[in-house]
Amino acid sequence: MNVLLLSMPDSFEHMPSVGIRMPNGGLTSIAGNVDPHHQVAVADLILVQQHVRETVTRLVRDLEPQVVGLSIMTFQRRTAERVIELVRSLKPDVKFAVGGYDPSLAPEDYQGMNIDYLIRGEGEVTFRELLRAIEAGRGFESIGGLSYRDDGESGEGGWVHNPARSPHRLEDGEVRLPKRDARALTGYTFLGRQVDVIETSRGCTYDCSFCSIIEMRGRNFFTYSFDRVLADIRDARDHGARTLFLVDDNIMLNVRRFEALCEAIIAAGLNHLDYFVQAMTSSIANHGETLAPLMKRAGFRYVFLGIENILDSDLEFLRAAAKNTARDNGQNTGNATLKAIDYLHRNQMYVVGGLIVGNPGDTRESIEANLEFARRYVDWPYIQHPTPYPRTPMTKDFRDQGLIQNERLEEYDGTTAVVRTQHLPAEEVEFMRWKAERWMKTHHIPVVFRHDPWFVLTHTPKMLAHTFRGSSIRSALGLEDQRKAFQRYKEIRKAEREYV
């Protein structure tokens, strides 16, 4: 069968497509795990953000897919619906499958859409079995993790939801390597270097209230063998990647394993690549003395730190206190953030600082404290607002407190404030972040210049134009109210969301 897998073009403020275009790891993994006789193509629509309609039309005409699969996050749901309608208009008999976080966690919202199958949770085995069943003309009732339309029998609007599939333990080699050759488009980049994504583990045993992971797969942590990980890194390198993003949910859950992975990367001579990883502050703070130099030797350059917030009360709301706690001789010694940042900086790595501002108890002062912290200590701010994604504990909290101000899901991109605090309206929270964060981003330009001068010379005007869109010379000089520039930015952002 011909299969076309699409990831959505929607990006958000901290991932401007002019400088950052990353592949969707889930789709290449699915492509690598269907039976080999299928012709699978993967298209990451982020690569053609300005030409979605033409590109999808061309791909459908050229590849003539019988099955089209879409990977969807919540803020991409509206775009996904539009892509579905477009493909249907081109090829009405195509079978549609959707997967990823949004369909998995809000399947009921997809029942009215013009689709045939919904894959909940991990997709490799479920999708493989789905294709087998379609090909053989068999029923779907035995496929775990699958929801499907069955207008004949079921009562629930024609939908049948099979029992969930347990998360794969990953250790037996059943989940094969991703198939990068399936990619139909080119142009992946992370600040001028070709980028790819790698997985070494899946899952997390924490339960931060804003995170979708627990509802998606339960509290567990399963790992791939190092041989597989190294083979995956080599494959990404052989496909041209020079920067690798480790997309593990929480690679630092097992610090000893992560240290051994760094050693393995060095021993395999793969430390000439740049690595970007998401990390827990407590792991870095508690093991930084040995871990940070080792990471540096293995090629780690950027570390995304889930700081979340510098105030204890906010950490409590976010249920993120445990992963941000430093320990000395088994004693809790307070917030781990500064210690973690210090270890990373001392070893010439850069901190992408993940902070969440706009929590229910936040005041102007508490938000300012976090912004000031970011200004002083992080190299690249990644400040977001709490966003009520389907089925997270936080969503229930916000709903119970009546704080959700905006139900337009296409704006649930993390940098649009959609919830108010008990003290400030959502828009004010967003204004404060927007005003401060644009300038912080400019501080990192010299660092990028030293690493990739050509990229900076050729892309800085575009990057700045993106970061400061809405601003004018007058607003920069203080001759115009910043709020006017902010309103213009909001209008531009709204127009950008019309991808199809």
306 binding partner (options ligand B12, ligand SF4, none; Cβ < 5 to 8 Å by kind) = ligand SF4
Contact of 371 with 436, CB cutoff 8 Å: yes
The maximal CA–CA distance of the chain, rounded, in angstroms, is 69
Amino acid, single-letter form, for residue 100? G
Q: Where are the alpha helices (DSSP H) in 308-405?
A: 312-317, 337-346, 364-377, 393-400
466-469: long-range contacts at Cβ-Cβ below 8 A with a sequence spacing of 24 or more? Answer: 466/16, 466/18, 467/16, 467/438, 467/441, 467/442, 468/438, 469/493
**Residues facing residue 98 across a β-bridge:** 70, 118
| Among the listed residues 81, 116, 122, 215, the single contact to ligand B12 using CB under 6 A | 122
Per CB under 6 A, the segment of 3-11, 218-226, 342-350, 434-442 that binds ligand B12 is 3-11
| Among the listed residues 4, 48, 115, 204, the single contact to ligand SF4 using CB under 6 A | 204
Comparing CB distances to ligand SF4, the nearer of 278 and 416 is: 278
22 binding partner (options ligand SF4, ligand B12, none; Cβ < 5 to 8 Å by kind) = ligand B12
73 binding partner (options ligand SF4, ligand B12, none; Cβ < 5 to 8 Å by kind) = ligand B12
| Among the listed residues 34, 47, 213, 273, the single contact to ligand SF4 using CB under 6 A | 213
Residue 71 binds ligand B12 (CB under 6 A): yes
The single-letter DSSP state of residue 419 is: B
| Among the listed residues 29, 209, 282, 283, the single contact to ligand B12 using CB under 6 A | 29
End-to-end, the C-alpha distance of the chain in Å comes to 27
323 binding partner (options ligand B12, ligand SF4, none; Cβ < 5 to 8 Å by kind) = ligand SF4
d(CA 208, CA 335): 16
Binding mask 176-215 for ligand B12 (x = CB under 6 A): ---------------------x-x-----------xxx--
Min dist CB 216 to ligand SF4, Å, is 10
| Among the listed residues 207, 368, 427, 496, the single contact to ligand SF4 using CB under 6 A | 207
Tell me the number of residues near ligand SF4 by CB under 6 A: 10
Query: How many other C-beta atoms can be found within 10 angstroms of the C-beta atom of residue 386?
Result: 30
Q: Which two tokens stand for residue 117?
A: 């199958």
DSSP string, 108-156: GGGTTSS-SEEE-S--HHHHHHHHHHHHHT--STT-TTEEEE-TTT-SB
Return phi, psi of residue 21, to 5°.
-140, 100
Residue 75 binds ligand SF4 (CB under 6 A): no
Determine which helix (DSSP H) or strand (DSSP E) holds 431, and give its type and residue range. helix 426-442
Q: 267 to 326, contacts with ligand SF4 by CB under 6 A?
A: 306, 323
208 binding partner (options ligand B12, ligand SF4, none; Cβ < 5 to 8 Å by kind) = ligand SF4
Residue 404 binds ligand B12 (CB under 6 A): no
d(CA 362, CA 343): 29
Write a three-state SS string for 234-293. Answer: HHHHHCCCCEEEECCCCHHHCHHHHHHHHHHHHHCCCCCCEEEEEECHHHHHHHHHHHHH
197 binding partner (options ligand B12, ligand SF4, none; Cβ < 5 to 8 Å by kind) = ligand B12
Comparing CB distances to ligand SF4, the nearer of 307 and 371 is: 307
Comparing CB distances to ligand B12, the nearer of 387 and 471 is: 387
Per CB under 6 A, the segment of 39-47, 188-196, 204-212, 268-276 that binds ligand SF4 is 204-212
d(CA 248, CA 278): 8
Determine which helix (DSSP H) or strand (DSSP E) holds 445, and give its type and residue range. helix 445-451
d(CA 460, CA 89): 40
Residue 388 binds ligand B12 (CB under 6 A): no
Q: 211 to 250, contacts with ligand B12 by CB under 6 A?
A: 211-213, 245, 247, 249
Q: Which two tokens stand for residue 150?
A: 């069955």
Residue 370 binds ligand SF4 (CB under 6 A): no
Min dist CB 411 to ligand B12, Å, is 11
Give the footprint of ligand SF4 on this chain (CB under 6 A): 204, 206-208, 211, 213, 249-250, 306, 323
Give the footprint of ligand B12 on this chain (CB under 6 A): 5, 10-12, 15, 22-26, 29-30, 69-71, 73-75, 97, 99-102, 105, 119, 122-124, 127, 197, 199, 211-213, 245, 247, 249, 389-390, 413-414
